Chains A and B, each alone.
Chain A
Amino acid sequence: MANIMIRQGEKGLTFYLPKRDLEASIESIEFDTPEKWGGELKLDNGGSYYIDPIAKPPRLPISLRAKRLGAAED
C-alpha cells in the first residue's frame, strides 16, 4: 500500500506517488460515477494501481491509499 495523490490535470486526471516522486497521467479509471469512484487505475507509464471505490470526491486533488497491481518497468 502506498500513499498517492490524484489531481485534475489539464488533460484528465494525474497520478502522483510522493514516495517515488512519480508523476503519471491516468489513462483509465474503473468506476467513474458520483456514487462509486475508484477501482483500478491504469497509468500511461504502464503501471496500474487499485484504490478502494469511494463516493466521488467533491474536490481534487485527493490523497488516498493505493495498492500496486502492476509496476511500471523502470
Chain B
Amino acid sequence: MTTLSREETDALIAEVLEVYPEKAKKDRAKHLASNDVTVEQSKKCITSNRKSLPGVMTIRGCAYAGSKGVVWGPIKDMIHISHGPVGCGQYSRAGRRNYYVGTTGVDTFGTMNFTSDFQEKDIVFGGDKKLAKLIEEVEQLFPLHKGISVQSECPIGLIGDDIESVSKKGSAAIGKPIVPVRCEGFRGVSQSLGHHIANDAIRDWVLDKRDGQAYESTPYDVAIIGDYNIGGDAWATRILLEEMGLRVVAQWSGDGTIAEMMNTPKVKLNLLHCYRSMNYISRHMEEKYGIPYLEYNFFGPTKIIESLRRIAAFFDDTVKEKTEAVIARYQPMMDAIIAKYKPRLQGKKVMLYVGGLRPRHVIGAYEDLGMEVIGTGYEFAHNDDYDRTIKEMGDATLLYDDVTGFELEEFVKRLKPDMVGSGIKEKYIFQKMGIPLRQMHSWDYSGPYHGYDGFAIFARDMDIALSNPTFKNLTPPWKKVAEEEVKKAA
C-alpha cells in the first residue's frame, strides 16, 4: 500500500543525508528511520530527545515555551508572569488559540501578556524587587485573579534570582497562591523539559492544596488531562464525556482554572490525551492518590469509538449503556461525513511533522477519510512516544525525529505527498512548492478537531486544503526544471 519499499525508504534517507559533513551525518542518521511494525522498542530504530545539531534548522521550542505556552498558559484565571525580558512573552502571546470562557482582563487572563520587562539594571542588580512590585501591582489592577505563576526566562537562572522566596512572601501578602516555575529556556533540549518542570511545579505548589477538604464526589468524576482547548477541542471532548454520564471535574489545562486543578485529586479516573506533556502529573496522581490514568484518542470516529469503550470499561453498566447510545447516535452523522468526503480524499497521501501527540493521534482520523500517512515525526518526543507511533504507522513509512528544515523539504520533494500537516514555519515553503499545508499545531485557525463534532470540521478542512484550485496553478520548482528540459529537448 505504501509507495516506497523499505529499501527505497532507506535509500532515500541515505541520499538526503549525503550533503552533511561526516559527523553531522552520523548524528542525523540516528534520528531518521523507516518504520518497522515488528519492532517493539523504538530505540532500536530511532533516537529521540537529543540536543539538536548546531547549524541545522530545527523548529523546537524552549523550556519556557513548554511551561508557559503549553501547560500553564491556558489556566485562565491565573496571571502568568513572563519573568525576564519582554520578548519571550510578547511574541508568544495568545498564539496557541487556547479558547476559554470569561471576561479577559477582569476574571480571565488567557490572551494577556504580563512581564517584568527586564532592563540592564535588573540583570546587574537582580530582579527580585521588581517581581515583588509586579505582584503588588497585579493584585491592585486585577483583584479577581486566583493566583499567579512566575515563569522564568533565561536570565533569571543565569543571574540566580530567588523567585521562590519572593513568591512565598508575595503569596502570604496577597493570600493567593503564587507559583514560581524554574522553566528557564536554556534547560533541556526542547520544550519537553518545560512540560516536565511545569508538571512538577503543579505537583509541588498546587495539586495538594485541597487535600483533606470536604468534597461532594460522584462515582463518575473524571478529569481531562492534556487537552489545551485549541480551537475548542476540550469542549468537544467534554460534550462526549458528559453524554456518557461522566462528570468532568477538571480540564487540564485548556479553559481550566486553578480550583479545578486543586480538585483533581478527588476524581476517579484521569483521561490523558497529550501523553507527552502531562504524563508526569498523571503518574504522580496514580501513585499518590491511586487515580489510574488512561490514554485516549479523540481524533476520527474509529479511534473515538475505541476510546469511548475503553473509558466506559472503567465504570458501571449505566455508563456503558449510555456510551453505546452515544456511539449509535453519532454513527449516522459520521457515515454522512465519510460518505461526503471519502470519495474526494481517498488515496491522498499526507506527511506530518508536529509535536506532542498529533503525529500519531491523527493518523486514525486520516485513515477514516481514506487518506494515508506516509511520513510522520515529532519535534520533541521521547522513546515512549515512538514506541506508540510504530504500531500506528504503516510498514516502511518514514519516521523523522527533530527533522531539520533541509531534510523535511527533501523528503517532501521525493515522497511527493498530496498534503503536509505541520506548522506556520513550514506552511509557506510547502505551499510555494505547490503542496497544500494544514497547520496541525493550531488547526490552521479552525477547529475543534477532537470528538465527533471535531471530525466533521477536520474532514471539511482537509477537503478545503486538498481541493483548493490554487495549487493546480502552482508548479513546484523541481517540476519546472523538468518542464524546461523537455522544452530544450524539443
Contact = CB atoms under 8 A, between A and B. Distances in A.
Contacts, number: 31
Contacts of A16: 283
Contacts of B196: 18, 21
A69 interface: no
Contact of B287 (A44, A45, A61, A72): A61
A21 B283 contact: no
A61 B49 contact: no
B111 interface: no
Interface string A1-37: 0000101000000001010011100000000000000
Interface string A53-74: 0000001011100000000101
Size range of the chain B interface in the assembly: 10 to 19
B324 to A, nearest CB: 24
A62 B41 CA distance: 24
Size range of the chain A interface in the assembly: 10 to 19
B286 interface: yes
Contacts of A44: 40-41
Contact of B49 (A21, A45, A62, A63): A21
B284 to A, nearest CB: 9
B289 to A, nearest CB: 11
A39 to B, nearest CB: 21
A45 B290 contact: no
Nearest to B276: A21
Contacts of A74: 47
A21 B382 contact: yes
B307 interface: no
B41 A18 contact: no
B342 interface: no
Given A16-B283, A44-B41, A59 B383 contact: no
B384 A23 contact: yes
Interface string B233-274: 000000000000000000000000000000000000000000
A72 B47 CA distance: 13
B283 A7 contact: yes
Majority SS at the chain B contact face: helix
Contacts of B40: 44
A57 B130 CA distance: 48
A7 to B, nearest CB: 7
B402 to A, nearest CB: 15
Interface string B192-228: 1000100000000000000000000000000000000
Interface in B358-382: 382
Interface in B150-198: 192, 196
B413 interface: no
Interface in B22-70: 40-41, 43, 47, 49
Contacts of A7: 283, 286
B280 interface: yes
B195 to A, nearest CB: 10
A63 B287 contact: yes
Interface of A: 5, 7, 16, 18, 21-23, 44-45, 59, 61-63, 72, 74
Given A21-B384, A61-B286, 19 more contacts: A5-B287, A7-B283, A7-B286, A16-B283, A18-B196, A18-B280, A18-B283, A21-B192, A21-B196, A23-B382, A23-B383, A23-B384, A45-B41, A45-B43, A59-B290, A61-B283, A63-B287, A72-B43, A74-B47
9 contacts: A18-B280, A21-B192, A21-B384, A22-B382, A23-B382, A23-B383, A44-B41, A61-B287, A63-B287
